[in-house]
Each structure stands twice: as structure tokens, then as C-alpha cells.
Structure 1
Amino acid sequence: MTPHGRAVPAVPGIITAEQVVQTARSIAAVQEADGGVPWPEGHVDAWNHVECLMAMTVAGLTAEARKGYDWLARVQRDDGAWPMRIVGGEPAERNGESNHAAYVAVGVWHELLVTGDPAFARAMWPVVRKALDFAVGLQTPRGEIVWERAATGLPADYALLTGCSSVYQGLRCGVLLGEHLGDPQPDWELAADRLGHVLAAHPEAFADKSRFSMDWYYPILGGAVRGTAAIERLEEEWDTFVVSGLGIRCVSDQPWVTGAESCELALTLDAIGDRDRALALFRDMQHLRHDDGSYWTGWQFVNEQWFPNEQSAYTAAAVILAADALSGATPAASLFRDAGRHTIPATNPETCGCSHTSTHA
């Protein structure tokens, strides 16, 4: 149990509650004094930062997580975004990404589910509103959301499938949060419906990043694709990305399995009810666990070397979130299953009336 009396995830035969807490403490150990949770080489981005806060919340490290949410509130710009990369508290890349901004809604909704603290949610609501308005401001007439807005104010000229899948989940969580706080946001719901349709029916709307495993499973993980379409999508590339006994490849053309992607695919499988394969994959990736509870980012299985030679907080965070989903320990354990609650059935892209050419925000 956490100090607040909540259950800590444990997956029998794979990971214990004590090990989950140890992994969460490995995230807290790299958290900077100002609250930011960096990548191994030192920069902070809002998306991975939020994921780490979610993991610490699950393991009962509420004070550390709240320190991280305070960081988000302080660092957020007036336009609702965060600089793409922040080093030592200062912007290193000033462009703002749509999926970075939208993920704060997932984090705040998750925190509310776990802690049941409406005062925290109300305090973060202005941050969420500005962030999701920034993301929706990058939606094209067809419905995809381009991946960034430059520091000059110009939007990017293309959208990313993985990023948009995450934005979709952010919008759905934002809608739920607004309803809970008595401030409904119908424009976000409409934006999510339009984005969900494009994710399900218009692959041509997105830049081709198909060598990355995230583009394979993220439309399902984020909730835009479910049912038969999700099952078929996973089977199409299963043998391309899954390496039995080790996890999944980050990219299709390299002998490199990564822990974060492996745990995200486990979450994806759990979200569609494929529990056996989710558990098997979660078990397989545990070879990446370090003695201190952290996790190596990845393993190059031809050279038999850690690659990169680092432990990453975001990998540890993905492990904890997968453990929660598979154990059902916290009230947020179904977060990714519930992401598909409002999935828009894919319609025939030849008859839906959408443009098949690229459109800009």
C-alpha cells in the first residue's frame, strides 16, 4: 500500500509491489530541483514528463508528481504550449508540439482518477484548457492535427500518426475533465470526433513513419481504432515488430528492442482484451530491469549490448503504467481501455467526403 492507503500495482510472477515502488523512486531520483523529469541526456519535454508524473502517482509518490505538475504550470507559455526541449529550465528548442501539449490532459485526468482530489484538478484546469486549445488550433480542415507550431507562429505542414493518436486521447480526457468540473468543452469533443475519423480512415493524412512501431500500435492505444480493425492492424505487423522473449523493435529495420514501446504494446493489447499476449510481452521485457529498479532503454540483440547505454525515466514510467493496467490496482488502471469508449467506426474513405490531399491548419 502507498502512504495514502492506495494499492500499488503488482503482477504476480512478473513484478512485485515493492519493485514497482523501487522503479518509481528511480524516476524521482532523476527529477530536477525545479520539478522537471528529464531524458537521460538532460532535456525535458512535456509529454515524457507527464508520463513520469503519472507513474509516480500510481506508486504513491504524490508529492513528487505534484512538484512536476507545478513545473508544467510555471513553464507553460501564454499560447498553451511548452518549448519542445527545455534544458536547465531554459528553452533549448522553442517550437511547440501538439502532442506534448495535449498529453497534460491525460495526466491531470489520470491524477484525478487515482487520488480523487478535485482541488488539484481545478487548479490545473486553466493549464489543460490552454494546452488543448493550442492543440485544436493546429487542426486542419480535414481533421488531422499538425505536429508543431514554430516559434514564429507558423504551423507545420504535416501531421504525425503517433502524435495525433496521443492528441486524440488527450482530447477525450480533456472532455471528461471538463464535464467533471462543470465546464464542458463541446469544441474539443467535435475536434476529437474529426481527428478520430481521420486516424481510422485516412492514412494518407500522415507522414510515412511506418518503420516505427509506434505508428503501428498507437492508433489503438490512443483509442481511435478498436474492434476488428484493431485486431487486424496488430496482426498485420506482429511478426515485423515483435521479437519473442525480448519485447518489440523500436524500428522495423534494426535489431533493437525497447522497453517503453514494449510496455505500450502491452497496454495496447490489454486495451483490446488480449490479456495473455499483454502479460507475455510484459514478462519478456523484464530483462531490461536494472538492479536499482530503473530500466535500460533498449537492447541491441545482435551485438548483445544495451542501446543506448542508459536507463531512462520514461521507460520506467511505461513499466509502471503497464503494471497498473495489468493488475487493476488503481482507479486509473483502465485509462487506456477507456480511451476507446467513443471510437468512431471507420467509414469508407472513398465515400466519406473528406479530401485526400494534404491540408494545412
Structure 2
Amino acid sequence: MPTAELPAVPGVLSARDCRLTAETIAATQESDGALPWFTGGHTDPWDHIENAMALTVGGLWDQARDAYRWSAKTQRSDGSWPMQFRAGVIENADSDTNFCAYIATGMLHFLTSTGDSEFAREMWPTVRAATDFVLSLQQGRFGEIHWSLGAEGSSGEALLTGCSSIFHSLRCALALAEQMDDPQPSWEVAALRLGHALRDHPEAFLDKSRYSMDWYYPILGGAIRGRRGYDRITSRWPDFVIPTLGIRCVSDQPWVTGAETCELVLALDALGDQRRARQLFINMQHLRDPDGSYWTGLVFTDGKRWPEERTTWTGGAMLLAADALSRSTPGNGIFRDLLPGVRNSGCCCECAAGLYPGPS
């Protein structure tokens, strides 16, 4: 099993700086393995996994295993998780499909980073059940996936950002299935349908175009790459990018956020645009606290940090971006590398029933 190699971005952050950030995330970990937003805050299944990935990048592999085992312990019999916990108590029992899918991304990242195939096999039933749950909510003409399931049933709506993240998680699940010698051909069909929707049918999703995540997530998730990806980034760069500070969370609000900035860094890195990726990474460092944690965002019209929280997942996104830029750990390409389930064929909806079979 390899030993941890910590990322460092020359002229920006040292390996020790990155380790400090990982340690601030680990310091919030609860006794059952949960990784909340901050000490005393709530835990959601997606940001919990993002933090586990950051612990892996930071060389804190035992703490990362504890986090993944928390996911296994708290998974429900249908493969889902509640949206929100606090100190071990469920605060929101509904399920978010994107939250549930992300375990596949985390586990492929952990396996690639550490080589710990024994742990990956331990976690494989959790990943498989979660993926099956998510795909039970794949609906619609184009293969979009409803974003939530509650006591009254499915939301009946799909989100572009969430489905882009699910698409990436499906690719990771397919790669894990291959590693586990447990092929899942139905997952590949599902990924093809979802990728088709993301590339060619924006009408399948609720309009959230005010949010920067809807701008870059189809690239980050791998559904759109190449020239089309560059054109997408160029088209709204002035709407979201604030020079020297990072990117807006919402196009019409004077608020830059560290996590979204680092996710755009990852998307640009996936496009091969390291120059702009590195500059954005530098720009968001004004959110770094001396202890290595990161403030969530800044209202740039009055220079005030808001909310007044140092969120674990902001530091987590920073560590993943640092690793991608520096090519340090074996898992640094988790958002860059194209994996199974990616085909960038053109739309052909008249024959979609044959190419992308789904529920009638």
C-alpha cells in the first residue's frame, strides 16, 4: 500500500499548509465517524464524502475510513441516506439522489489513492445499494434523475448540477464495479441516458442558471468536455468571475465562495486550462484562516465574510483542487479522467427509445 504524498502548490501552499487544512477537518469528526459542516453543525451525506476525500488527500487515511464506515452504518435498507443529521440524530429524513450517489466517487478516490482493495470490497455493497437507489429515480424522456424522494414520493424534478454530479458518480461506480469484478451493464445504460440529457436537453432540468454550479458542473462531472466545455466556460465567465477574489455563488449577488471557486478550478483543470485554474486557486486564498481552515465566502461589496462559518467542505474542495493542480496523490485525476459510461455522441431523440431505453 502506498504512503501518503501530500499536495503542494508552489508559491501558494506548502505540503504542511495542506496537512493543516486536513487536520482542521479531522478535528470536527464526531465519535461515530461523521464529518459535519463545522463542530456542532449538521452532517449531510454529500459534504461528508467530500470531507472524507479531503482527509484521504491529507494523508489521514484512518479518519477517512471511519468516515466511510459511518456512511455504511447509516445507510438505509433501500440504499439511501437521510439528507441531514446532527449529532447522530436525523433532522431531515428525505433523500437527495446526488447526496446518495457521491459515495461511489469517494470510494473510487480512496481506492485509487491508497490501493486498499480490501476496504473497497468492504464498502462495495454500500456503493452498489446506493447506486441502485439513485437509478430507481431515473425518469423522464431524456434520462434525467429526480433530485429527491420523501414520504410523499419523488420530487418529480431534476437539477442540472445534481445530475451532473450523479453522472460523475455513475462513472466512478462503473469503474469500481470493474475493479470488484461485479459488472453492472444497466448502470452503463443509465449513464448514457443521463449524459445525453446533460449534453443535449437543458429543458429536462429546472432553471437554476443564476447559480455558478449550473455553469461549470456539466464539465466537472464529465458530461461536457473539449471545445464545447471551453465555450461553455467562456460564455458566462464575466457573469461569475470576480478578479482577485474567486467566483460568485449566484450571478446577481456580490458574494464569492471558496468551494465553488475550487470546483471551477477542478473543472478548468479537467479542460486542460491550468493557467486560469491556478490563478483562481490563488485568488480564493484570502478565505484561509491562520489555522488552515477556510471561511465559506466573502461579500465583496462590504468586505465581510459571510456566513461567519469556516466550513469543512470549503477546506475539502481546496484540498481536492490543490491535489489536482499539483498532480500529487494517485487520486488527483478523480475529476479529470474520463471513466466508463462516457460517450459524446450527438442527440438523436427519434431513436432514443432504442439507444437510451428507460421507463415507459
How high is the TM-score relative to the length of structure 1?
0.95
CA distance in 1, matches of 2:22, 2:146: 33
From 20, 23, 47, the counterpart of 2:21: 23
Structure 2: where are the runs of 5+ without partners? Answer: none
Deviations, residues 255-306 of structure 1 (Å, cap 9, x unaligned):
1000000000000000010010000000110010000000000000001100
SS at match of 1:335: coil
Counting aligned pairs with the same residue, the percent is 52
Which residue is equivalent to 1:265?
264
Deviation at 1:51, TM superposition (A): 0.4
Pairing 1:35–2:28 present: no
Count of aligned residue pairs for this structure pair: 354
Note closer, same or farther for the CA distance 1:75–1:157 as it changes in structure 2 (3 Å cut): same
TM-align CA RMSD: 1.8
**Displacement after TM superposition at 1:353 (Å):** 5.0
C-alpha distance in structure 1 between counterparts of 2:340 and 2:235, whole Å: 24
Query: Is the contact between residue 171 and residue 339 of structure 2 (CA under 8 Å) also seen in structure 1?
Result: no
Matches within 5 A, 1:1-361: 5-40=3-38, 42-142=41-141, 143-152=143-152, 154-339=153-338, 342-345=341-344, 347-348=346-347, 353=352
Letter in 2 for 1:147: W
The alpha carbon displacement at 1:343 in A equals: 3.3
**Superposition deviation, residue 39 in structure 1:** 1.7
User: Secondary structure of the equivalent of 1:15?
Assistant: coil
- Do the aligned partners of 2:268 and 2:276 also contact (CA within 8 Å) in 1? yes
Deviation at 1:347, TM superposition (A): 2.2
DSSP-derived class of the 1:130 partner: helix
**2:175–2:339: 8 Å Cα contact kept in structure 1?**
no
Secondary structure in 1 aligned to 2:31? coil
| 1:98-128: CA deviation from partner (whole Å, max 9, x where unpaired) | 1011000000000000110110000000000
Go from structure 1 to structure 2 and tell me whether the alpha carbon gap of 1:353 and 1:341 turns closer, same or farther (over 3 Å shift): closer
Distance 1:213 1:352 in 2: 33
Is residue 196–residue 347 contact of structure 2 (8 Å, CA) maintained in 1?
no
Please give the per-residue CA displacement for 1:79-109, whole angstroms capped at 9, x wherever unaligned.
Answer: 1111011112121111111101100000000
> Measured at CA, do residues 360 and 246 of structure 1 come closer, stay the same or move farther in structure 2, by a change above 3 Å?
farther
**What is the identity, as a one-letter code, of the residue corresponding to 1:10?**
A
Residues of 2 paired with 1:201 and 1:350: CA distance? 10
Q: Check conservation: 2:171, 2:340, Cα contact below 8 A.
A: no
- CA distance in 2 between counterparts of 1:249 and 1:346 reads 32
